[in-house]
Amino acid sequence: MPMCSMQKGTRKNERGLLLLVLACGVLLLGNIASAQIYLPKPPPEPSEYGKVILDNYSTAGPGAVVFDHWLHRSKFTCRLCHVDVGFAMQAKATGIRASTNREGFHCGACHDGKKLFDGKTIFAACSDAANDKQCDRCHSLGKKGARKYEYKEFTAKFPKGIYGVNWEAAERSGVIKPVDFVEGLSVKKAPMRSREDFSVKAGFSWVNPIAFSHEKHSIWNGCELCHPEIFPTAKKGTIRFSMFSNIEGRYCGACHGKVAFPLNNCQRCHPNAPLWAP
């Protein structure tokens, strides 16, 4: 075979190999990018975790409201606010306004200047008689020193976990006693029988099964918070969910990754799993 033909063939093979390497590189980068999309993002600081900014109607006036889940969850169950009061589970979906608060809805269901909690009168939300300083307790975004409670001091004696307060341990130990009934707001009914705990097989053999506790969830959520809105049916094995859907904010991700302990805390759901905390 002539030398020139051999050189052409070699160059052709080299170009082919180079194209293959480049193609593999593109695929690898694409997979890395996809993986980054579906990896749980590191949660913010515990004091910022679960913070909700209410600014639908606050471009003028006293400014945006800062709602800290850590403060209210130390006193009330999730079910009380999201079922009995009726706060939506998605941001900007409730339609809270000063007028609705004054009428006894939303925040005003409890913050009416009349109801008592721990022997103290709950201040009125959006009261016409409230002065500027009182307004700043809620409309506190960007206002230093406006809040009455700060996370570090308020939770100093609460049991801690990897990501701030371990709320389950705090409730179990009696450090907090979340209220699940407010007179004149909640409906009296027979207590619901908690379903049995069960194990959920993971989609991959190298992932430990999920240990799901109905008892733990029912203490905070009852049954109504999860069924049927988040989990349309209670029949085991009929809903197909995955870490991908959770990370997207569906199913378990409706709470975990937003206000309940984040999805990065693998061991809380997958016992004995390796600890991963990016």
All domains of the chain in start order, with CATH: 51-154 (3.90.10.10), 190-278 (3.90.10.10)
Predicted local confidence at residue 160, as pLDDT: 95
Q: What's the pLDDT tens digit per position in 244-269?
A: 999 999 999 999 999 999 998 888 99
Give the separation between CA 255 and CA 221, rounded to whole angstroms: 11
% of the chain surpassing 90 pLDDT: 51
pLDDT, mean of residues 27-31: 43
Query: Residue 132 and residue 4: Cα distance in Å, rounded?
Result: 88
Longest dimension (CA), the chain: 100
**Span 218-242, mean pLDDT?**
86
- For residue range 61-120, list pLDDT tens digits in order: 788 999 999 999 999 999 999 999 999 998 889 999 999 999 999 999 999 999 999 999
Say what the pLDDT of residue 106 is.
Answer: 95
Spatial distance between the Cα atoms of 143 and 196, rounded to a whole number of angstroms: 47
pLDDT single digits (tens) 171-180: 999 999 999 9
Q: Tens of pLDDT along 184-218?
A: 889 988 877 777 888 888 888 888 999 999 999 99
The one-letter amino acid at 262: P
Quickly state the pLDDT bin for 32 (edges 50, 70, 90): very low
